Structure 1
């Protein structure tokens, strides 16, 4: 018997984007959009009526002073649900504070659709980390006036990096994720290019410093060096 669909609510004040996301997600097998809203005041009543598994929320539509209260009510209220934040805001302190509250993930609106649907589908999994995708920032010594428009890590790439940080070999990662070992190698090659990394250890350390993965996921330098 196939699993029940993932029930999703979309909350975004930009009508065109919200309606486009609803239309796209409704075409995905195993995903059902059960509601949408462009108003924060309507979100909790909508969640109470529809009982979604996941709320995709543009945190920018929520007043800063009420974000923590809203998220706590979504994450721990009745009914409780996962929250995936989708936003144009690129503020590390904000991202970390939301992750600390327990959101499922934080995606910058510069991502591609495949990254979003990957994050939606993983909301049912028991995970020791959260999905985070932000534009890569310049090095700390670089002076700039705004966020970098550099490349991004997909949800799958973050997942592979997290397993690499736990010192799993390519074969172990492939078995864990149910994909081919060659696919893992291809993802790692793409990760090295995006992060300008020269090794798994270098990629893991750079990903941790950019908060794509949590530093606590890194096991040991010695084990990372020998994992292949």
Structure 2
């Protein structure tokens, strides 16, 4: 499949859905945004992976129910072929287990097909400019279940570091306290941000508190030995 031409500065998007009418409508909708360009379409996972391998789109909009491989397999194959391609799931299924599985496979957003145009466009722009952010547009019930299960995927070290951040420790102070390098602290925090869908240290702490990972007690000033 030859990709459609796109302006140099635009976000290049691949649409993956087995319903041609839905793809056409989505292409028309996104064509109204000057910074978004649909460069290709696919109707199944194999076509999607082949297109991504050849043309490396910035974003792939992937329907959960496409024929062929399971969506998680398509995500894994896509990211193996093109690690920089961001994957956004569009789905009719508001199922916490599905959401968790596909986010765990590497999707950067999970949106129900009932999502508004503005929210879809915002998600496309967000995952392109902030690759560590996870976008969700699901029911509150599903979100709470996904959040509860997400808490379990943080490692003990990540929980420890978030706890120290909650106590107002800086990266260098955390590194000294745990006897690790500052770059290791930063790597752990990037993982925490990704897993919790956090956009800042404060956001990560707030979400960790909400998940009962760290204490909501007022933090005290860190005391470290020289």
TM-score, reference length from structure 2? 0.59
Q: Is 1:77 equivalent to 2:81 in the alignment? A: yes
1:11 to 16, 20, 34: 16
Q: 1:137 to 1:66 in 2, by over 3 A?
A: closer
Displacement, 1:129? 3.5
Quote the residue 1:32 is aligned against: 37
Quote the residue 2:186 is aligned against: none
Aligned-partner Cα distance in 1 for 2:98–2:218: 33
Alignment of 1:1-228 (within 5 A): 4-63=9-68, 66-78=70-82, 80-137=84-141, 165-166=203-204, 215=211, 221-222=216-217
Q: 1:31 to 1:219 in 2, by over 3 A?
A: farther
Displacement, 1:30? 1.1
Whether the aligned pair in 2 keeps the contact of 1:7 and 1:52 (CA below 8 Å) is yes
Equivalent residue of 2:126, what SS?
Answer: helix
Aligned-partner Cα distance in 1 for 2:118–2:201: 20
Displacement, 1:101? 1.5
Equivalent residue of 2:65, what SS?
Answer: helix
Displacement, 1:66? 3.4
Quote the residue 2:152 is aligned against: none
Q: 1:222 to 1:37 in 2, by over 3 A?
A: same
Aligned-partner Cα distance in 2 for 1:114–1:220: 36
Quote the residue 2:167 is aligned against: none
Deviations 1:132-154 (Å, cap 9, x if unpaired)? 1112339x9xxxxxxxxxxxxxx
The gaps in structure 2 that reach 5 residues or longer are 1-6, 145-196, 220-226
The gaps in structure 1 that reach 5 residues or longer are 141-158, 168-200, 209-214
Deviations 1:121-176 (Å, cap 9, x if unpaired)? 112223544111112339x9xxxxxxxxxxxxxxxxxx899887446xxxxxxxxx
TM-score, reference length from structure 1? 0.59
